[in-house]
């Protein structure tokens, strides 16, 4: 059969509606010249391949776990990031005008901030209404007169841009506080350039890396003390922030230490990072926390997120904060109408990039204009701290309209009216076809190190409305995103963020940036990973016997497993000795799969995932993929209603967990971080093993039924068979599982490894030769090494089970104590309070 030669021409059928401008086509079928290259490449792929590439891109996003947290989201806290397969393309000529306008705007806003925080001449000269400063909740009086890093307030500026039917770009809003989105733009680029490699290469798309390199250089240059390697941290409010993914992502990409307020402390007017190796000085803080929350002493006292004394450290010139504390004052749409006048006054230039026509109702004439033209307006709160949805005048009922007008008249200063714009549209690939959706572009400008200008990111985050004809584009309310391609007139050179070859790089094997909080999380990552593995092994030993058993009375090994599960609180402790197999199966499946079941498998996996999520800037891409695989393995809708299904599932999970411990064992640098992670794993494994052995060897009665299941749980059946080629008997089994330090699942092995990890941990130079945790670990190890397991087993067989039981019990208890001791010494982050 001859190959079909009919070329797909999907864009010819793409028909934007209404009067809005479309970014891709001018009229039906007529592609804008700058879009031709992309359209050609996409059409060459054809619809099936486009959908396949989109699916692959989505998979990558899931693997990278790119999320955007949505408050009150019924789907759960982190929602996968949405990226369309068709990029938004901007022509070189249009971009260079935008670029100049964005740089000018950043310079202007920086100067406005400098004025507002040093005497407010602009208000005295009546270029700005006083209320816009003094009634503005973003005006932080404690920041008045503070020195600013690099002489600038605004180090990173973002602008939301929209385009109207006449082709003009308008600024919808300025983000001067702690702009988000640059990291998502970067991730979009990384994913999309891999999804459409042909188009990306052929279209000569400008690279983003130079922008990020300049951003990093600028941040380093802000360091107040001269230093070869200043410590630059990214301050996040934590995993509950809507853009936490981006905080971790940017920190990783830019080589910054991701910190929360609790990781920092102020001493002698300097800011320090609390690490497991003591306090380490911090030079520069890129803050992704609103300024009001940054210092409970001088700013909002009800904030538990900030760092007490930070404002004083800034005042003393000891730390640089970007953007400057207080810069949020400009995040008010009420400022927009005054910018043209401010631009003439401060820069002696005309404002080249206009703002969407805006009227601040705090002025009587403007208020009356807004009320008279309500149908053409979007009414917004004047200050970002007033939480309120924008109201579209044309969409209001008569009653709503009257109520809104009454509110505006009562508190005019709190409202602005903005002209409702017809947002431009762009084609989005969904359900196998192209659909026009409204878009808004977030563009970014970063201060140039040492200069006075700003460098604009050649790209941006294009956000897409979630409905075809929507004039609201918001990530918080849904909708997706696009990569933004700025085409180049000439060839594009590849750029890397790494220092160019030939740059001298000082050897530094152990950067001291393991914060106590991160060490704590790594320790628990190890504990939870191992806890999952122990549970899976116990469940597997139980279900493999459940599958075969007819009744529990005929299955003594199953009865031993029930005791193990009961001691781990997986099945009821006081279960009747002769519970039916069907009931036991139901209970076991329940303990595996019910996410609300405390200490059950799904809940423990949830805890593992949570603590991993807190560490996402520290985990490798492979580690992430494995954890996501675990999550997929045990999703809510997993088909598992019989012990046989469970066995298949458990076998798969054992392998996935083995992959995780493999990454941990083979790919992690042997620093303190790994030591804490591994110590957590050893401690958990030892404690669980001691507990399970105790439970499975009953006070009276036969031990033989417990031995094979125990060997299975300890993954040592093979070793046993090879060594003894005999039926299992108590002393050799326990020698293997307890005393033999060459068996990687034995108690002795765990204790030996733990003692070595603890010896390797950092400690105060003034600490005693043997610390409490060292002494404890050594004592536990000595007890196991000194025990004569054969004699203990013989005593047990002779009716004296207590000595063996005591040894196991003391080991489990001692490991719990060791965990507490480590936590107290290395992880305790006492919470500060305001009075």
Using the rule CB under 8 A, give the single segment among 208-216, 293-301, 325-333, 769-777 that binds another protein. Answer: 293-301
Looking up tokens 């995040």 gives: 331
Distance (Å, rounded) from C-alpha 102 to C-alpha 154? 13
Longest dimension (CA), the chain: 100
Q: Does 266 bind another protein (CB under 8 A)?
A: yes
Residue 835 touching another protein (CB under 8 A):
yes
| By CB under 8 A, residue 385 contacts another protein | no
* Euclidean distance between CA atoms 654 and 534, whole angstroms: 10
Return the axis-axis angle of helices 556-567 and 516-548, rounded to nearest 10°.
Answer: 160
Cα 533 → chain centroid: 25
What 8-state DSSP symbol labels residue 457? P
Q: Which stretch binds another protein (CB under 8 A): 311-319, 482-490, 602-610, 695-703?
A: 311-319
The two tokens of residue 790 are: 């054969």
CB of 385 to another protein, least distance (A): 12
Verify binding: residue 308, another protein, rule CB under 8 A: yes
Nearest to another protein of 124, 800 (CB atom): 124
Stretch of residues binding another protein (CB under 8 A), selected from 116-124, 475-483, 641-649, 680-688: 116-124
* Cα(567)–Cα(690) distance, integer angstroms: 11
Place of tokens 């310079």: 107
Interaction of residue 130 with another protein, rule CB under 8 A: yes
Verify binding: residue 296, another protein, rule CB under 8 A: yes
Q: Which is nearer to another protein, 308 or 377 (CB)?
A: 308
From 142, 210, 317, 644, residue interacting with another protein (rule: CB under 8 A): 142
> Rounded to the nearest whole angstrom, what is the least distance from the CB of residue 109 to another protein in the complex?
21
* Contact between 265 and another protein per CB under 8 A: yes
Give the bridge partners for 454, in sequence order: 447
Q: In this structure, which long-range contacts are made by residues 639-648, counting pairs with CB atoms below 8 Å and at least 24 apart in sequence? A: 640/589, 640/592, 640/593, 641/589, 642/585, 642/589, 643/543, 643/546, 643/547, 643/585, 643/588, 643/589, 644/547, 646/539, 646/543, 646/588, 646/589, 646/592, 647/540, 647/543, 647/544, 647/547
Does 279 sit near another protein (CB under 8 A)?
no
Question: Does position 366 bind another protein by CB under 8 A?
Answer: no
Question: Residue 806, interface with another protein (CB under 8 A)?
Answer: no
Q: Which is nearer to another protein, 292 or 480 (CB)?
A: 292
Asked if residues 240 and 79 have their Cβ atoms less than 8 Å apart, the reply is no
For residue 430, the cross-strand partners are 433
Contacting residue, 124, 194, 373, 800, with another protein by CB under 8 A? 124
- Does 830 engage in binding with another protein (CB under 8 A)? yes
Per-position DSSP letters for 666-727, written without gaps between them: HHS-SSHHHHHHHHHHHHHHHHHHHHHHHHHS-SSS-SHHHHHHHHHHTT-HHHHHHHH-S-
Q: Does 145 bind another protein (CB under 8 A)?
A: yes
Taking the least distance from each CB to another protein, the nearer of 268 and 639 is 268
Please select the residue that binds another protein; options are 48, 134, 489, 788, rule is CB under 8 A: 134
Q: Which helix (H) or strand (E) holds 659?
A: helix 643-667
Burial 256-295 (b: 16+ CB within 10 A, else e): bbbbbbbbbbbeeebbbbbbbbeebbbbbbbbbbbbbbbb
Residues 563-592 binding another protein (CB under 8 A) are none
Quick count: other Cβ atoms within 10 Å of Cβ 763?
17
Alpha carbons within 13 angstroms on the beta-carbon side of residue 584 total: 30
Pick the piece of the chain touching another protein (CB under 8 A) from 201-209, 246-254, 294-302, 466-474.
294-302
Binding mask 680-699 for another protein (x = CB under 8 A): --------------------
DSSP 8-state symbol, 6: P
282 versus 758: smaller Cβ distance to another protein:
282
CB of 286 to another protein, least distance (A): 23
- Is residue 778 a contact point for another protein (CB under 8 A)? no
Which run of H or of E encompasses 189?
helix 182-195
The smaller minimum CB distance to another protein, of residues 241 and 832, is found at 832
Indicate which single residue of 166, 228, 268, 727 sits in contact with another protein (rule: CB under 8 A). 268
CB distance 451 to 29 below 8 Å: no
* Binding segment (CB under 8 A) for another protein, from list 312-320, 444-452, 555-563, 602-610: 312-320
Positive or negative: CA dihedral 756, 762, 768, 769: positive
Nearer to another protein, 116 or 696 (CB): 116
Pairing verdict, β 320-322 and 284-287? parallel
* Binding of another protein by 141 (CB under 8 A): yes
Distances (CA, A) of 802 to 33, 698, 740, 794, 810: 86, 11, 21, 12, 12
Task: From 468-476, 609-617, 812-820, 827-835, give the range in contact with another protein by CB under 8 A.
Answer: 827-835
Whether 263 and 279 have beta carbons less than 8 Å apart is answered as no
Q: Which of 312, 323, 629, 716 binds another protein (CB under 8 A)?
A: 312
Binding segment (CB under 8 A) for another protein, from list 131-139, 183-191, 504-512, 757-765: 131-139
Establish if 446 lies at the interface with another protein (CB under 8 A).
no
Tell me whether the omega of the peptide bond preceding residue 148 falls within 30 degrees of 0, making it cis.
Answer: no
User: Which of 7, 596, 670, 833 is in the footprint of another protein by CB under 8 A?
Assistant: 833
CB of 120 to another protein, least distance (A): 7
* Closer by beta carbon to another protein, 147 or else 197: 147
Q: Shortest approach of another protein to residue 731 CB, angstroms?
A: 51
Q: Is 297 in the site for another protein (CB under 8 A)?
A: yes
CA distances from 308 to 293, 296, 356, 427 (A): 10, 5, 39, 49
Question: Quick one: 21 or 308, whose CB is closer to another protein?
Answer: 308
Contact between 547 and another protein by CB under 8 A: the answer reads no
Q: Using alpha carbons, select from 403, 78, 231, 784 the residue that is nearest to residue 393.
A: 403
Tell me whether residue 120 or residue 603 sits nearer to another protein (CB atom): 120
Residues that bind another protein (CB under 8 A): 120, 123-124, 130-131, 134-135, 141-142, 144-145, 265-269, 296-298, 301, 308-309, 312, 315-316, 830, 832-835
């Amino acid at each position: 059969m001859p190959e079909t030669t009919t070329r797909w021409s999907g864009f010819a059928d793409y028909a934007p509606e209404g009067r809005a401008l479309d970014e891709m086509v001018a009229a039906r079928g007529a592609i804008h010249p700058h879009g031709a290259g992309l359209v050609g490449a996409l059409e060459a792929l054809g619809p099936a391949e486009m959908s396949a590439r989109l699916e692959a891109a989505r998979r990558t996003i899931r693997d990278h776990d790119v999320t955007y947290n949505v408050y009150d989201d019924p789907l759960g806290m982190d929602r996968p990031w949405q990226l369309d397969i068709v990029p938004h393309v901007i022509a070189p000529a249009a971009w260079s005008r935008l670029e100049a306008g964005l740089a000018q705007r950043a310079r202007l806003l920086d100067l406005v901030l400098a004025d507002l925080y040093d005497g407010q001449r602009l208000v005295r000269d009546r270029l700005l209404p006083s209320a816009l400063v003094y009634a503005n909740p973003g005006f932080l009086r404690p920041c008045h007169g503070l020195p600013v890093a690099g002489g600038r307030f605004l180090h990173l500026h973002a602008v939301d841009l929209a385009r109207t039917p006449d082709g003009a770009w308008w600024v919808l809003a300025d983000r001067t506080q702690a702009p988000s989105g640059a990291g998502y733009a970067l991730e979009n680029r990384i994913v999309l350039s891999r999804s459409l490699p042909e188009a990306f290469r052929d279209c000569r798309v400008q690279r983003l890396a130079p922008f990020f390199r300049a951003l990093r250089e600028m941040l380093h240059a802000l360091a107040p003390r001269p230093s070869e390697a200043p410590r630059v941290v990214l301050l996040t409010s934590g995993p509950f922030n809507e853009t936490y993914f981006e905080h971790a992502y940017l920190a990783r990409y830019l080589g910054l230490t991701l910190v929360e307020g609790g990781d920092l402390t102020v001493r002698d007017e300097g800011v320090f990072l609390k690490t497991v190796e003591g306090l380490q000085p911090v030079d520069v803080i890129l803050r992704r926390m609103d300024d009001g929350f940054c210092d409970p002493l001088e700013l909002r006292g009800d904030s538990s997120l900030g760092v007490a004394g930070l404002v004083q450290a800034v005042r003393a010139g000891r730390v640089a904060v970007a953007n400057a504390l207080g810069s949020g004052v400009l995040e008010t749409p009420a400022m927009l109408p005054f910018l043209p006048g401010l631009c003439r006054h401060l820069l002696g230039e005309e404002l080249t990039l206009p703002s969407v026509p805006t009227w601040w109702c705090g002025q009587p004439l403007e208020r009356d204009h807004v009320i008279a033209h309500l149908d053409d307006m979007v009414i917004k709160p004047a200050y970002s701290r007033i939480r309120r949805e924008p109201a579209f005048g044309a969409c209001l009922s008569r009653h709503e309209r009257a109520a809104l007008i009454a509110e505006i008249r009562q508190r005019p200063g709190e409202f602005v009216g903005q002209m409702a714009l017809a947002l431009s549209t762009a084609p989005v690939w969904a359900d196998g076809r192209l659909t026009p959706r409204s878009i808004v572009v977030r563009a970014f400008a970063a201060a140039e190190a040492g200069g006075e200008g700003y460098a604009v990111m050649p790209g941006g985050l294009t956000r897409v409305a979630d409905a075809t004809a929507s004039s609201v584009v918001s990530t918080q309310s849904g909708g997706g995103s696009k990569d933004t391609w700025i085409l180049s007139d000439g060839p594009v050179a590849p750029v890397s963020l790494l220092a160019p070859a030939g740059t001298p790089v000082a050897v530094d094997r152990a950067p001291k940036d393991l914060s106590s909080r991160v060490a704590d999380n790594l320790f628990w990552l190890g504990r939870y990973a191992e806890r999952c593995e122990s549970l899976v092994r116990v469940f597997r030993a139980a279900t493999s016997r459940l599958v075969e058993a007819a009744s529990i009375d005929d299955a003594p090994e199953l009865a031993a497993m029930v005791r193990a599960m009961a001691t781990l609180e997986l099945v009821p402790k006081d279960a009747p000795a002769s519970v039916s197999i069907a009931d036991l199966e139901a209970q076991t499946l329940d303990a595996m799969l019910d996410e609300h079941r405390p200490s059950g498998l799904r809940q423990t996996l949830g805890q593992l995932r949570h603590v991993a999520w807190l560490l996402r800037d520290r985990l490798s891409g492979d580690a992430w993929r494995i954890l996501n695989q675990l999550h997929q393995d045990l999703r809510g809708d997993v088909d598992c209603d019989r012990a046989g299904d469970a066995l298949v599932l458990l076998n798969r999970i054992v392998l996935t967990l083995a992959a995780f411990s493999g990454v941990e064992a083979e790919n992690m640098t042997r620093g303190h971080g790994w030591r804490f992670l591994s110590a957590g794993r050893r401690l958990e494994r030892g404690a669980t093993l001691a507990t399970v052995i105790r439970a499975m060897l009953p006070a009276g009665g036969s031990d033989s039924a417990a031995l094979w299941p125990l060997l299975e749980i300890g993954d040592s059946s093979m070793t046993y068979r090879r060594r003894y080629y005999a039926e299992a008997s108590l002393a050799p089994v326990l020698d293997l599982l307890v005393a033999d330090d060459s068996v990687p699942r034995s108690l002795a092995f765990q204790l030996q490894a733990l003692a070595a990890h603890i010896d390797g941990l950092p400690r105060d130079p003034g600490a005693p030769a043997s610390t409490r945790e060292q002494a404890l670990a050594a004592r536990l190890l000595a007890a196991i090494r000194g025990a004569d397991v054969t004699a203990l087993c013989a005593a047990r067989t002779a009716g004296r089970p207590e000595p063996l039981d005591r040894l196991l019990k003391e080991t489990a208890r001692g490991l719990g104590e060791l965990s507490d001791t480590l936590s107290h010494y290395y992880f305790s982050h006492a919470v500060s309070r305001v009075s």
